[in-house]
Homo-oligomer: A and B are copies of this chain.
Amino acid sequence: MAQVYFKTKPDGRAVFDYYYRSNPFNGGYVIFAGLENVLDILENLKFVDSDLEFLEQHGFEQEFLDYLKDFRFHGTIRSSQEGDVVFPNRPILQVEANIIEAQVIETMLLNLLNFQSLIATKANRIRHSAKDATLLDMGLRRAHATGGYYASRAAVIGGFDGTSNVKAAEDFNITASGTMAHSFIQSYGDELQAFRDFAKVRPKNCVLLIDTYNTLRSGLQNAITVAKEMEQEGEQLMGVRLDSGDLAYLAKQTRKILDDANLGYVKIVASNQLDEFVIKSLKDQGAPIDIYGVGTNLVTGKPDAALGGVYKLSEFNDDPRIKLSENIIKVSLPYKKQVYRMLDKAGMFYGADAVAMFTEDTIEQMEHPFDATKHMSLKGFEYEALLQEVMTDGKRISMSRTVTEIAAYSKSRLEKLPEEYKRFQNPHIYKIGLTPQLKKERDILVLKHKF
């Protein structure tokens, strides 16, 4: 496609929208994540010699390869803030650029935004269940190869406290955290000696895994022995970890036995196929778990495993563009647009984002995208313009934000979202409407291309 554009319309200007069509996990929202990585890549994107040689072998023309040799992204990006709460069928990010540049970046942009938004959303659902408990990402061994690196980043944006992925912790400046494996205890055969050696070498943040042979009769007893020995050395055992069996039952028994041994400060860590539903059940049962280690279900975004975000052309050389579909929800929105979020008098999200043409300056009403009988007056609402320019002509126009800052922003945004949108069963549907002008212009284009 890029070579055809190069030969036929090298100066074409395009506007593309990034958006998705339905919320993952049957949930009520998505946490938008991945933007900073996309901007970093866009600022540095280029074709290296080996890429160009490969393309030459595949029949691309020399003139086009010369163009790629000097390729840089010079476009403008308007976007929701990373960490914001977003909803289906409204632009989340908008690319305005030369059409070749806008096309070349498509797959990278979809790949990073779709995946990180999926995982940040999953992480946030787990955070919702876990309330104030500590949440650790332990998923790298089941993650999708190197994609696990970005899963750990997205997990923190969604509300996790740390990760066992040391490389991600290093690069994204997030908390590294891990515990021991069963093999450590097995290598000793003698569980007590294994615990003693571990506590001696790493007394700080020491968490002992107690289910290798028998949780209550062996692991916990040996952990208590070591905790008492640590006290003699002026140290405190941080926690014991349960990794199998009935976690609710074992956590309650463990808490009681630890408390009876005057070890009320020793925390209980639980892991083993956890997700938002298991953690909610453990909470509902009153399981006294302080720290949850979540792996596979977090980093793979099970069961959805993908967010179906798309990248659709909405304007070309200042003319609107549309894609039709037999499925009405898949008809794209033409024109360069802005999205406005309505706020109630307390500053909370009212539950309505209005999609407008970029040129509109007063937002007074929104209409249902397809149902002609539904509309809502927006008079008197305060609102925010959600798509903010973050890159102009290929250069960032703001400082990059750290993962910690993004996570804090995300938390502050979620606090403005009423609870009924966050529940797992049949969450309230956040309304996305079109201004009357945008809807009218879209319908004109639909009719123009209709057969």
Contacts and interface: CB of A to CB of B under 8 A. Distances in A.
B58 A183 contact: no
A135 B377 CA distance: 50
A116 interface: yes
B147 A144 contact: yes
A89 interface: no
Contacts of A184: 1, 4
B308 A142 contact: yes
B143 A111 contact: yes
A244 B325 contact: yes
A12 interface: yes
Nearest to A295: B306
Contacts of A201: 3-4, 7-8
Interface stretch (A79-87, A99-107, A350-358, A388-396): A99-107
Given A213-B324, A313-B186, A145 B170 contact: no
B213 A1 contact: no
A103 B181 CA distance: 9
Contacts of A58: 176
Given A111-B148, A151-B144, A308-B296, A14 B451 contact: no
Interface stretch (A315-323, A409-417, A427-435): A315-323
Contacts of A1: 180-181, 184, 198
Nearest to A448: B189
B141 A107 contact: yes
Contact of A324 (B202, B212, B325): B212
Interface stretch (A68-76, A123-131, A282-290, A297-305): A297-305
A110 interface: yes
A19 interface: no
Contacts of A29: none
Contacts of A312: 182-183, 186
Contacts of A202: 3-4
A88 B272 CA distance: 19
Interface in A178-202: 180-184, 186-187, 189, 197-198, 201-202
A451 B218 CA distance: 8
A11 to B, nearest CB: 12
A212 B147 CA distance: 32
A287 to B, nearest CB: 17
A32 to B, nearest CB: 15
Interface in A318-350: 319, 321-327, 330
Interface in A47-74: 50-51, 54, 58-59
Nearest to A214: B451
A316 B12 CA distance: 66
Interface in A240-299: 244-245, 296
A160 interface: no
A204 B59 CA distance: 9
A224 to B, nearest CB: 16
B106 A197 contact: no
Given A3-B202, A197-B8, A149 B141 contact: no
Contacts of A296: 305-306, 308
8 nearest A-B residue pairs (beta carbon)? A147-B147, A144-B147, A144-B144, A110-B141, A183-B313, A300-B305, A145-B147, A145-B150
Interface of A: 1, 3-5, 7-9, 12, 14, 16, 50-51, 54, 58-59, 99, 103, 106-107, 110-112, 114-116, 140-151, 166, 169-170, 176, 180-184, 186-187, 189, 197-198, 201-202, 204, 211-214, 217-218, 244-245, 296, 300-303, 305-309, 311-313, 316, 319, 321-327, 330, 449-451
20 contacts: A3-B202, A5-B187, A7-B197, A14-B183, A14-B187, A54-B170, A59-B204, A99-B187, A103-B181, A110-B141, A115-B143, A142-B308, A145-B150, A146-B146, A146-B149, A182-B312, A183-B311, A186-B313, A189-B321, A296-B305
Given A4-B201, A144-B301, 11 more contacts: A14-B183, A51-B170, A54-B169, A103-B183, A141-B309, A144-B147, A145-B150, A147-B147, A183-B312, A183-B313, A183-B323
